[in-house]
Structure 1
Amino acid sequence: MVQSAVSQALLSAEFLRSKLPGNRNGKVRETLLLVLPRADSLLEVLAHTHFTRAGLRVRMHVDVPGVGEVDCLINECLIVELDGGTHLEGKQVKKDQYRNNAGMRGGLLTLHYYYVDVVHHPERMVAEVLTVLLNREVGRYAPARYAPGWVPPS
């Protein structure tokens, strides 16, 4: 209800926070941190909550140069797109692939998740995101010249 009211600009999270002073309201104030200033779908709210609770830094609706607006930017290096049914149409699939390519050229990996992932398998979704972030951290996406067995082109 709070997310809906904030999204519709009926009230702000700051206003609610100001009405919840004292120690006994700490948990409610903490919950307000999960409220998004703008949420285009319930999937975004749920995904943001799952990623935030996993300790990830999540920014929503980020304009990435060359890519456009992405649903989530996690830890400033991983794009997560939350795709609905229209993303399965041919024209949209092609657009998404070009956006993925643009993200890769800019050094950002992209993962796509659907309703079933966010709603029914959030733990798997979060585990996959954590795995990709770990792979990036240990250099598995390093330039080919650093990969074992790499031979320079002749």
Structure 2
Amino acid sequence: MRTVTDVLAAMGGVGSTSNLRQAGVPRGSIEAGVLDASVQRIARGVYALPDADPLLVHAARHHAVPACVTAAAAAGLWVVSTPDVPHLAARHGRRIPGCVVHRGSVPPTYLDVVCQALRCLPPLDGLVVAESAVKKGLIQLPVLRERFPALREKSILSLVARIRPQSGSIIETMARYLLEEAGLTVEMQVKIPGMGHLDLLVDGLLGIETDGFDHHSSRSAYREDRRRWNVTVVRGVPTLRVTFEMLAGKPQEFVLMVQRALATYRSAQ
């Protein structure tokens, strides 16, 4: 028989009486765990391990769970920035101190989390979460479209239409969005003979390659990166390298850099 601590650990450290009972834990074992302090009763019908995540404990005390961008980050989806306060979901929808509360089903599905992000976050942040969920196969685009039938949510549906599952990274998604917002034409994963695929091609002229923090994980990766760079030069495709920090911290500077590069190379043609 699985112990109450084992079951709670498998649940992430927090669980309700019904969750524990469904997992086969006898009610007597739950009470025994409380008595010997291996388990804490944090609210009526809600229990936690002593070392459980404080956020999960705080949420559970209010019969809530992580949602929106907080749940997205925990699930490994792309997130532009961590919010100042956690986002939670609760059926009651009441205010919870120090949190943003989304009224909805508990626990939220991946589809729920994506819809919350699209409605709650700035457009780029919502797009990044949604695109990564589609890319990872956690949700399906046709199903996501069906969640926004109301005319008042036309702007969100337009954002959903911009999801590109072939995006290779959060940096590609962010760069593409910023450049499209500036009125530029952006192609993704453009094949360059002898090089492979260029991350982005802007206005059919300027290449964009994205650098993550782990881009050069080995000497061979560094050499391959330089080989690819040299091929773009030989093929006449000037290419800029951009980082997450640039896109997140100085998006206008990034767009201006691309516009200036385009102007320079157009005048040289």
TM-score range, shorter chain: 0.7 to 0.9
Shift of 1:115: 2.0
Shift of 1:15: 4.3
**Equivalence for 1:122:** 251
Larger radius of gyration: 2
What is the TM-score normalised by the length of structure 2? Answer: 0.47
Q: Distance in 1 between matches of 2:161 and 2:259?
A: 22
For the aligned residues, what is the CA RMSD? 2.2
SS of the equivalent of 1:86 reads: coil
SS of the equivalent of 1:66 reads: coil
Alignment check: 8 A CA contact 1:34 1:48 kept: no
What is the TM-score normalised by the length of structure 1? Answer: 0.77
Within 5 Å, which residues of 2 pair with 1:2-151?
2-17=130-145, 20-21=148-149, 23-88=151-216, 90-139=219-268, 142=269
Shift of 1:19: 5.2
Q: RCO (CA 8 Å, sep 6+): is it higher in 1 or 2?
A: 1
Deviations 1:58-98, CA, capped at 9 Å, x for gaps? 12222221211121111121110111233345433332222
Unaligned runs of 5+ in 2: 1-113, 115-129
Percentage identity across aligned positions? 27
Q: Distance in 2 between matches of 1:92 and 1:78?
A: 23
Deviations 1:17-36, CA, capped at 9 Å, x for gaps? 35544643321122123312
**Equivalence for 2:82:** none
Unaligned runs of 5+ in 1: 143-154
Shift of 1:13: 3.2
Shift of 1:14: 4.2
The code of the aligned residue for 1:110 comes to T
